[in-house]
Amino acid sequence: MIQKLVNRLEKLKATGAVVNLIEMYPCLTSDIICQYAFASPYGYLDMPEFAPLWHNALMDASEGFLFFSQFPWLETLMRHLPQHLVRKLVPNLSSLFLMTGMVREKVDQVQDDLANDKKPDGQRTIFHDLFTNDSLIPEEKTPERLAAEGFSIVAAGSQTVAHTLAVISYHLIANPDILKKLQDELAGVMPTDDSAPKWSRLEQLPYMGAIIQEGLRVSCGVSHRLQRISPDIDLTFKASPQIHGDSKQQAQEWIIPKGVIFFSAISSTSSSDMKQCRPPSA
C-alpha cells in the first residue's frame, strides 16, 4: 500500500497538482488497518482525490462519539430511528452510524468466510483470529460486540495515525534543515528510489526515530481529556538534575499511587517547535 501511495504521488507530481495531506493520509491508514483487521481494505487509495468524503466522515464520527459519551441514552434512541430521519435531524451524527454499519459489514463478511471455510491467503487478521479463538466465551464473539471493537480499531488506527503523519510532514516541509538531515540518513539505507529496506533496518535510524517521537509528542491524537490510571503499581517520575550557575540541584521525584486517576494537559507535553529534534541518545 505504501508503494501504491508513492506511485500516485509520482503521477501527481508530474501534473503539479496540490495534495491535501489531511485527506490523503486517512486513506492510507484506513486501508492498512482494514487489511490487518479484515484482510479486505476499503480501497480508498484507489479513489479520486483521495476520497475526501471518508476523512469528513471520520471527523464527523469523532464528534458524534464525543457527543454520545456525554449523552449515551441518545445513541440508543437514534439507533432505533430510521437512518434517513437521523440524517435529517443530525447530519453529522449520521456519519457515526454510517461508519459502524460499514464495519459491521466487514465483521459479517469475516464470519461468513469462516463459515464457508474461506481464510485469507498467507495472512492472519485480527477478526479471523477472534472468531476462531476457542478461549473466548461466545458472548465475547457476537457480531454486535465485535462490530463495536472493529469500529474502535478502524477509527483509532486510521484518524489518529493519519493526523500524526500529517503533522510530521508539515514540520519537515516547514523546516528544510530537518528534512535534509532526514534525507541524508535515509540515503544510507535507501540509495535508490526503488529501495525497500525492512522496518527492522529503518527502526535503527536514530534521527528518523527522533522525528517520529517528536511527531507523536507534538501531534494530539485526541484533543479532549484522556484519563490515565495504573491499576497495579505505583508510577515513579524522576526529573533531571537542574543546574543554576555553579550550583546543581538534586533530581526531584514524584510518585503517583496505583489506582489514582490522573490527566495530562496537552499544553504541558506539546509544542509546535521541532527544531530541537535530536536522536534519543543526544
| pLDDT given for residue 98 in this prediction | 72
Tens digit of each residue's pLDDT (9 = 90 or more) over 72-119: 787 777 777 777 777 777 666 666 677 778 888 888 888 888 888 877
Report which DSSP code applies to 270. -
* CA contacts within 13 A on the Cβ side of 216: 5
Given this model, what pLDDT does residue 183 score? 93
Residue range 143-171: mean pLDDT, rounded: 87
Residue 279 has pLDDT above 60, yes or no: no
Model confidence at 222, pLDDT cuts 50, 70, 90, reads low
Residue 150 has what pLDDT?
Answer: 87
Task: For residue 242, list its beta bridge partners.
Answer: 249
With a cut of 60, say whether residue 271 has pLDDT above it: no
pLDDT at 53 over 80: no
The SS3 assignment for 262 reads strand
The model carries a pTM of: 0.73
Average pLDDT of the residues of the chain: 79
Q: Hey, is 102 helix, strand or coil?
A: helix
Judge whether residue 56 has pLDDT over 90.
Answer: no
More confident residue, 144 or 270: 144
Is the pLDDT assigned to residue 52 strictly greater than 80? no
CA distance 72 to 70: 6
Q: What angle do CA 237, 239, 245 make, to 5 degrees?
A: 170
Is residue 150 within 8 Å of 106, Cβ to Cβ? yes
Core vs surface per residue 48-74: b (16+ CB within 10 A) or e:
eebbbebbebbebbbebbeebeeeeee
- pLDDT for 14 equals 84
- What is the Cα Rg of the chain in Å? 23
Please say if the pLDDT value at position 277 is more than 60. no
At 149, the pLDDT band (50, 70, 90 cuts) reads confident
Reply yes or no on whether the pLDDT at 185 is more than 90.
yes
Give yes or no for residue 276 having a pLDDT over 60. Answer: no
Does the pLDDT of residue 38 top 80, yes or no?
Answer: yes
pLDDT value at residue 156: 80
